[in-house]
Amino acid sequence: MGKATLSAWGRRLFLIALLLAMTGAVTSAQLRFMRNMFTSPVVQPQVAPRVPVEDTIPVDGTQILDKISSIDLPNPRPNTPEVLQEGAWLYGVYCAVCHGADGQGDGQIAEHFRRMPSMPSIQNRTDGLIYAIIREGGANMPAFADTMSVDERWALVHFIRTFRTPE
């Protein structure tokens, strides 16, 4: 009996000693059981962001321009009856309420503005500038950057040219 009991206790003691030794080793070596999060490439606070992976941010896409740098932009859309019709529809939806259905600066709410230019009076602006005015708005005119797509704004530019008074 004695032998068997002793060896059973001996085994237990050995296991306990082993566990203690391992715990000590783990603690003193600062080993971590799950290192996944600890060793991941975390950006620490106050550290500058890392350079994005190549091609993450497109640098060759559509550039946002302001009014001045838009002046010489050519109208990329063809001046076809379909495009003019699209522009006419957009004008009726977005512009007529102020600039007037016939472009005379006499829309329903025009009287609330100090100045409401007529469409014939703005024909000396370049295509690019009219495009940028639609996109950026003015002092009192709202911006349509979020309302219309690039293509829609250019269609509208074609339509606005139909207000040109024949010489």
Contact status: 115 vs ligand HEC (CB under 6 A): yes
Contact status: 74 vs ligand HEC (CB under 6 A): no
- Considering only 22, 142, 151, 162, the residue that binds ligand HEC (CB under 6 A) is 142
The 8-class DSSP code of residue 123 comes to T
Binding characters for ligand HEC, 33-52, by CB under 6 A (x = yes): --------------------
**Contact predicate 90/156, CB 8 Å:** yes
State the Cα–Cα distance between residues 4 and 167, nearest whole angstrom.
119
Query: Closer to ligand HEC at the Cβ: 18 or 143?
Result: 143
**# residues contacting ligand HEC (CB under 6 A):** 22
Burial of 119 (0-12, 13-18, 19+ CB in 10 A): buried
The distance between the two most distant Cα atoms of the chain, rounded to a whole number of Å, is 124
Site residues (vs ligand HEC, CB under 6 A):
94-95, 97-99, 113, 115-117, 122, 125, 130, 133-134, 138-142, 144, 156, 160
